[in-house]
Structure 1
Amino acid sequence: MLRNITSLILLLALSSVSFAADKPGVYVDPNNVSDTDFYYQGEFYGPLTLPSGCLEMTGLQVVAQGKGKFSALQYKGGLPGNGWNNGPKLELTGELKDGVILLQHDAYVIAVDPNHAVVTNGAGETLGNLRKVRRKSLTLGHKPPHDAQVLFDGTSTEYFQNGKLTPEGLLKAGTITTFPVTDFQLHLEFRTPFMPEKSSQARGNSGVYIQERYEVQILDSFGKTPEFNDAASLYRTKSPEMNMCFPPLQWQTYDIYFTAARFDDAGNKVADARLTVYQNGIAVQRDVAIPNKTGAGKKEGPEPGPINLQDHNDPVVFRNIWIIEPSTPISFASASCSCL
């Protein structure tokens, strides 16, 4: 049974790191962002008064698009993974002026500051006061089970070819495991940079390339309607069921369950590879059959292959990576996020 395992908590101080951006307009340290827009973007949550007078929980994701411009998605019922039922959502845009972003709607306006989003109607009546929240996956920081192999804990790159660390002990993108994999359960934590003036595939791009054949995309897709090349997509093959991205510079989790393709003695494929992905504790790919390699992946074959944490020239970093390789194929029918 699928469970909602993402918690909603109030805005907290971000964890401390101390390395500088690689290039102008790219921020890797949440405590050292000079772009004011960073402090306005994020998630907001709270009750909204409907025309009927009833209260309804509402979620709002505000996304920095660079130079004071913002886009936003408003969700009926709450945020993705916390109340929103995957129904229609409202797209809004606005600009930062005099310390406030004004998101215009026909029936109301939303005034966003770094901590609140206040909704008022044309008569100036307050319909809602949404508070900024910072959500956290309940699998974040989870310790590996007894049968897991720790691949990276911040102290060594033993299991990664040419693995490079930041001064804070985080693993940089652009490394491959030193061993091949077949069937497995993988936990990893990643953080995308803040790149407000970039868009689409140029915004915090990396990926988990399973067997160097099948890519689970890593991308800053926060506040977007998910597409087949966005975060948690099976790259250019299947979009995620829901966009569970948190804002950039916030730690996120992937919990991946994978069963390799099967081949007969003649090398003919007799069963597709299968994949389940939980992003930040919510199932976004469920027992998906993978018909072929994805994107620039290597050709399918019976031999196992390593996991590539793709280098796409963006400073994505990783921590707390561990793997379980079962002796029998994983049963997706019963797979929930057992890493809790």
Structure 2
Amino acid sequence: MGKPILIEAILVALGLLAAGSAVAQTPGDAQRDPARTEVWKPVPAVVATPKDAAPSDAIVLFDGKDLSAWEAEQGGNAPWSVAGGAVTVVPGSKGIRTKRRFCDIQLHIEWRTPAKTQGFDGQHRGNSGIFLQDLYELQVLDSYGNPTYANGQAASIYKQAIPLVNASRAPGQWQAYDVIWKAPRFSQGGGLVSPARITVLHNGVLVQDDTVVSGKTEYIGAPSYSPHGCAPIYLQDHDAKVSYRNIWVREL
């Protein structure tokens, strides 16, 4: 009688396994299958990120060698000086702008204000500016121990948005801005559909967090929008020998 009992036990065990398998295949359990939430396409493009170099899909605007990607404010060759891997403002020569036009971008740009500050303070100390789409200024200024109006210090959206913190380094040291710029959108009739927005990291520190830009930069009066398309990046001559290097963009 021992063998029939053993066979019966085996059959019971197999029945329980089959029942368990049937339960595992119920619709409710299928919803908990991790594969149901795996998305395989589209596969993101590969972008190489070499150390101390621009990403492989970036447009290099200045690599320390020449200003072939830039032109003078009034057209013609860019008049600023290039030496030691940097381009430096020639005071009185006016600004320079990219030959290429941009809308939405990721921008990396490094800058340095003059080390000698004696006799200069406020807006007269290491002043320049980076204009996105030729109209909207991200302020460049020596704001290291240099009081001025808060919406005019380094990393401000000039006369509009105060930076979250002051991440400035001492004059004469290289600093960096990493910028995400979303261009404004206009209707076919010229009305504003959505304003420009900007995120900025200053020396790796978040200083503008998806900030809404109120309009083009104005020295006097309130900002406002007028319809426009993609436009150059413009670097300002504000009578200070500010230097720039390692400038690149990625179109978004």
Aligned to 1:175: 96
Q: May I ask how many residue pairs the two structures share in their alignment?
A: 186
Decide whether the 8 Å contact of 1:213 with 1:299 is kept in 2: no
How far apart are residue 166 of structure 1 and its match?
3.3
How far apart are residue 299 of structure 1 and its match?
5.6
Aligned counterpart in structure 1 of residue 128 of structure 2, from 185, 194, 206: 206
Q: Which has the higher contact order (CA 8 A, sep 6+)?
A: 2
Q: Is residue 285 from structure 1 mapped to residue 208 from structure 2 by the alignment?
A: yes
Aligned residue runs from structure 1 range 59-70, under 5 A: none
SS at match of 1:196: coil
Aligned to 2:154: 231
Partner deviation per Cα, 1:213-262 (whole Å, 9 max, x = no partner): 11000000102567000100000001100000000000000011100001
Give, in whole Å, the separation in 1 of the partners of 2:217 and 2:163.
Answer: 15
Does the C-alpha gap of structure 1 residues 171 and 300 become closer, same or farther in structure 2, counting only changes over 3 Å? farther
Decide whether the 8 Å contact of 2:109 with 2:248 is kept in 1: yes
Aligned to 2:74: none
**Which ranges in structure 1 are unaligned for 5 or more consecutive residues?**
1-140, 327-340
How far apart are residue 298 of structure 1 and its match?
9.4
Decide whether the 8 Å contact of 2:177 with 2:203 is kept in 1: yes
Give, in whole Å, the separation in 2 of the partners of 1:304 and 1:181.
Answer: 5
Aligned to 2:249: 323
**Percentage of matched positions with identical amino acids:** 40
Give, in whole Å, the separation in 1 of the partners of 2:176 and 2:197.
Answer: 20
Q: Is residue 190 from structure 1 mapped to residue 100 from structure 2 by the alignment?
A: no
Decide whether the 8 Å contact of 1:183 with 1:259 is kept in 2: yes
SS at match of 2:123: helix
Q: Is residue 147 from structure 1 mapped to residue 44 from structure 2 by the alignment?
A: no
Give, in whole Å, the separation in 2 of the partners of 1:255 and 1:185.
Answer: 7
**Counterpart residue identity of residue 148, structure 1:** A
Q: Is residue 251 from structure 1 mapped to residue 161 from structure 2 by the alignment?
A: no
Partner deviation per Cα, 1:36-58 (whole Å, 9 max, x = no partner): xxxxxxxxxxxxxxxxxxxxxxx
Aligned to 2:66: 156
Does the C-alpha gap of structure 1 residues 203 and 189 become closer, same or farther in structure 2, counting only changes over 3 Å? same
SS at match of 1:228: helix
Query: What is the TM-score normalised by the length of structure 2?
Result: 0.70
Q: Is residue 261 from structure 1 mapped to residue 172 from structure 2 by the alignment?
A: no
Report the structure, 1 or 2, having the larger strand content. 1
**Counterpart residue identity of residue 207, structure 2:** V
Decide whether the 8 Å contact of 1:160 with 1:175 is kept in 2: yes
Aligned residue runs from structure 1 range 73-152, under 5 A: 142-152=52-62
**Counterpart residue identity of residue 166, structure 2:** N
Aligned counterpart in structure 2 of residue 308 of structure 1, from 234, 238, 245: 234
Decide whether the 8 Å contact of 2:192 with 2:225 is kept in 1: no
Query: What is the TM-score normalised by the length of structure 1?
Result: 0.52
Partner deviation per Cα, 1:173-197 (whole Å, 9 max, x = no partner): 3311111110000001110013232
How far apart are residue 170 of structure 1 and its match?
1.6
Aligned to 1:166: 82
Q: RMSD of the TM alignment (CA)?
A: 1.8
Moved over 6 A (4+): none
Structure with bigger gyration radius: 2
Give, in whole Å, the separation in 1 of the partners of 2:165 and 2:52.
Answer: 23
Decide whether the 8 Å contact of 2:64 with 2:82 is kept in 1: no
